Amino acid sequence: MDSALNSGDTAWILTASALVLLMTPGLAFFYGGMVRGKSVLNMMMMSFGAMGVVGVVWVLWGYPMAFGTDVGGLFGNPFDGFGLGNLLAEDPEATLPSMAFVGFQATFAIITVALISGAIADRARFGSWLVFAGVWVTLVYFPVAHWVWASDGWIFKYGAIDFAGGTVVHINAGVAGLVLAILLGKRKGFAKEPMRPHNLPFVMLGAGLLWFGWFGFNAGSALAANNSASVVWVNTLVATCAAMLAWLLTEKLRDGSATSLGAASGVVAGLVAITPSCSAVSPIGAIVVGVVAGVLCALAVGLKYRFGYDDSLDVVGVHLVGGLTGTVLIGFLATADAPAGVDGLLYGGGASQLVIQVVSALAVVAFSFVMTMIIGFVIRATMGFRVSEEAEVGGIDLAVHGETAYENIAQGSVIKEVRS
C-alpha cells in the first residue's frame, strides 16, 4: 500500500508540538516570577495543573469536540471518536498523520487554559482551578476552536483569518481571565500594598521560553514545512522585536525607565498580536502590528487600577488587548502577497475583511464572557473558588501545597520534627 505521508511535514509538526508544549512551563516561569515569593509555587502549579487536566481531556473527548464530526457548525460530536481509537491506523491519503495534528492541537488547548491563571494569582483553590480547567476547555475552548479552525466551523466559513489563535487562544483566555478576576475578587491589599514581582530573572526566562516555543505555535500552524511556515517564522520574529522596543519606549517616556519586566511583557504582547496575523501580513506589516501592540498593551495594563478589577498578571492587558489588536489589524494590514492571500483596507482590499475580523472577535468575546461567567459562578457557589484570607496572607504555597519555594518564606512555623 502506498503512503502519501510527507516525512518533512510530519517531522516539523512533531517538533513544533514539543516547542508549543514547552511554552506552558515557560509561562509558569513568566507568571511565577511576577507573583510574590509566598505564592510562586501555586502560580507555577496552575500551569502544570492545566497540562495534566487538559492533556487527558483532549485525548478523551477534546479532539473530537474541536475537530470531529460537525454539529451545526458549533462543535464536534464528542462521542464520535472518543478516546481517539479511530485514529490509530495510517490514512494512506494523508500527508500528515492525524495523530500529529492531534498532538499539535493538544498543546494549544493546554496553553490557553494556563494563560487564564495569571488573572487570579495568589488566591484560587487548586482543586477548583483544576475543575475549572476541565469544564472551561470543554464548554468554551473546544467549541471556539471548532468555529475558527475546523472546516465546518461557522467563523471559518465566514472567512475570518486567525492563523494561530488570536481569537481562539488569546481573546478567549483574556476574556475568561477578566471574568474570573471579577468573580474571585481582588487580592487582599490590591492597589494598597506593594505586590512587587519577586523574581524578574524568572520572568525574563519565561519570556524567552515562550518566544522560543512560539515559533512552533505560529510556524507550526502552517501544518507543513513550507514557504508559508517560513514567512510566518520571520513575521513572528520581527513583530516581537518591534513590540519589545515599543513597550520599552512607552514606559521610558511615561515612567522614566526601560525595565526588564517591560521587555518581557513587550515580547509577549508582540507574540500575541502576531499570532492571528502572521500569515496575512508582510514583514513591514508585522513590524506595525508589533509596535501597535507594544504601545497599546503597555498602556492597557494600567486599566485594572482605574476600573478596580485585580487581573493580577495582566491577562486582559496583554492577551485580550494584544489578541484584539492582531485580529483587527489584519483587516488593515493584510496583503494578498502573504500566504493568507487577502488584501486589507490599507492594501486596497476594502473594508470587508475588517468587518469579518471585528465580528468574529466580538463573537468570541461575547461567548467566552457569558460561558466563563456561568462556569465560574457555579464553581464558586458549589466548591468555592477562593482560599481563606488566612491562607492568602500567610502564603498560598504553604496553605495549599504544603511547600514553600524559598527557605525564608515560611512564616511563623518552625520545623520541629523531620519524618522519613
Binding residue count for other proteins, defined by CB under 8 A: 18
**Is 20 in contact with 213 (CB distance < 8 Å)?**
yes
Cβ-based nearer residue to other proteins, 194 or 348 = 194
Cβ-based nearer residue to other proteins, 318 or 400 = 318
Segment contacting other proteins (CB under 8 A): 48-56, 147-155, 190-198, 336-344? 190-198
DSSP 88-102: SS--TT-SS-HHHHH
Cβ-based nearer residue to other proteins, 121 or 354 = 121
Distance CA 327, CA 315 (A): 17
Q: Rule CB under 8 A: say whether 262 interacts with other proteins.
A: yes
Q: How far is CA 370 from the centre of its chain?
A: 19
Taking CB under 8 A as the rule, which mask of x and - marks residues 136-175 in contact with other proteins?
A: ----------------------------------------
**Is 73 in contact with 147 (CB distance < 8 Å)?**
yes
Instruction: Name the minimum Å distance from CB 264 to other proteins.
Output: 10
Cell matching residue 398: 504553604
Per CB under 8 A, the list member of 83, 230, 254, 388 interacting with other proteins is 254
Cβ-based nearer residue to other proteins, 35 or 334 = 35
Distance CA 393, CA 169 (A): 32
Q: Rule CB under 8 A: say whether 259 interacts with other proteins.
A: yes
Cβ-based nearer residue to other proteins, 91 or 255 = 255
Cβ-based nearer residue to other proteins, 157 or 196 = 196
Cβ-based nearer residue to other proteins, 159 or 308 = 308
Per CB under 8 A, the list member of 48, 196, 337, 366 interacting with other proteins is 196
Q: What distances in angstroms separate CA 46 from CA 111, 133, 216, one per listed residue?
A: 11, 9, 22
* Alpha helix stretches (DSSP H) within 137-259: 142-149, 154-158, 172-184, 200-219, 227-255
Instruction: Name the minimum Å distance from CB 411 to other proteins.
Output: 19
196: number of Cβ within 10 Å: 10
Radius of gyration of the chain (CA): 21
**Is 80 in contact with 21 (CB distance < 8 Å)?**
no
Tally of residues, the chain? 420
Segment contacting other proteins (CB under 8 A): 128-136, 160-168, 192-200, 388-396? 192-200
Cβ-based nearer residue to other proteins, 36 or 125 = 36
3 state SS of 71: strand
Per CB under 8 A, the list member of 256, 348, 402, 412 interacting with other proteins is 256
Q: Rule CB under 8 A: say whether 252 interacts with other proteins.
A: no
Segment contacting other proteins (CB under 8 A): 55-63, 128-136, 214-222, 259-267? 259-267
Q: What burial letters (b/e) apply to 151-161, b meaning 16+ CB within 10 Å?
A: ebbbbbeeebb
Segment contacting other proteins (CB under 8 A): 142-150, 193-201, 234-242, 375-383? 193-201
Q: Which of residues 302-331 bind other proteins (CB under 8 A)?
A: 302, 305, 314, 317
Distance CA 387, CA 383 (A): 11
Instruction: Name the minimum Å distance from CB 94 to other proteins.
Output: 46
Q: Which of residues 284-303 bind other proteins (CB under 8 A)?
A: 298, 301-302
- Please report where in the chains the cell 488593515 appears, as a residue: 332
Cβ neighbours of residue 134 closer than 8 Å, sequence gap 6 or more:
53, 54, 57
Could you list the residues that contact other proteins (CB under 8 A)? 194, 196-197, 251, 254-257, 259, 261-262, 265, 298, 301-302, 305, 314, 317
